[in-house]
Amino acid sequence: MPLDILLTIIATTVIQSIFGVGVLLFGTPLLLLLGYQFINALEILLPISIAINLLQLVKHHHFIDINFVRNVLKYSIPFVVVFLFIVTSVRINIGALIGVFLIFVAFKDAVGAVNRIIEKLVSYERTYLISMGIVHGLTNLGGSLLTAIAHSKQYEKNQTRSTVAVCYGMFAVFQILTLLFVKHQYVISYADNVSLLQIAVVVFLLTEEMLYKNIDNEKYAKIFAAFLGISGFVLIWKSL
pLDDT value of residue 80 = 93
pLDDT value of residue 95 = 59
Please give the residue that has the higher pLDDT: either 132 or 240. Answer: 132
By mean pLDDT, which of 114-123, 126-135, 189-198 is the weakest? 114-123
**DSSP secondary structure string, 96-153?**
HHHHHHHHHHHTTTT-HHHHHHHHHHHTSHHHHHHHHHHHHHHHS-HHHHHHHHHHHT
SS3 215: coil
**Under 8 Å between Cβ of 187 and 36:** yes
The pTM score is 0.80
State the average pLDDT for the chain: 84
pLDDT value of residue 42 = 86
**Under 8 Å between Cβ of 47 and 192:** no
How far is it, in rounded angstroms, from Cα 197 to Cα 178? 21
Per domain, the residue ranges of the chain are: 3-239
The Cα-based distances of 11 to 33, 50, 65, 180, 220 in angstroms read 15, 16, 28, 27, 19
93 phi and psi angles, rounded to 5 deg: -110, 105
**pLDDT bracket for residue 38 (50, 70, 90):** confident
* Mean pLDDT, residues 167-192 taken together: 82
Residue 104 has pLDDT above 80, yes or no: no
**In the chain, which ranges are continuous DSSP H helix?**
3-19, 23-33, 38-60, 66-75, 77-87, 95-106, 112-122, 125-139, 142-152, 157-179, 190-210, 217-239
* Mean pLDDT, residues 123-133 taken together: 89
Please give the residue that has the higher pLDDT: either 44 or 104. Answer: 44
How far is it, in rounded angstroms, from Cα 217 to Cα 168? 21
How far is it, in rounded angstroms, from Cα 22 to Cα 164? 11
pLDDT value of residue 186 = 64
pLDDT value of residue 152 = 81
**Under 8 Å between Cβ of 211 and 88:** no
**pLDDT bracket for residue 124 (50, 70, 90):** confident
**Under 8 Å between Cβ of 139 and 92:** yes
* Mean pLDDT, residues 113-123 taken together: 74
Largest interatomic CA distance in the chain:
51
How far is it, in rounded angstroms, from Cα 170 to Cα 173? 5
List, for residues 192-224, the tens digit of each pLDDT value. 888 999 999 999 999 998 988 888 877 887 887
Report the share of the chain in percent with pLDDT over 90: 31
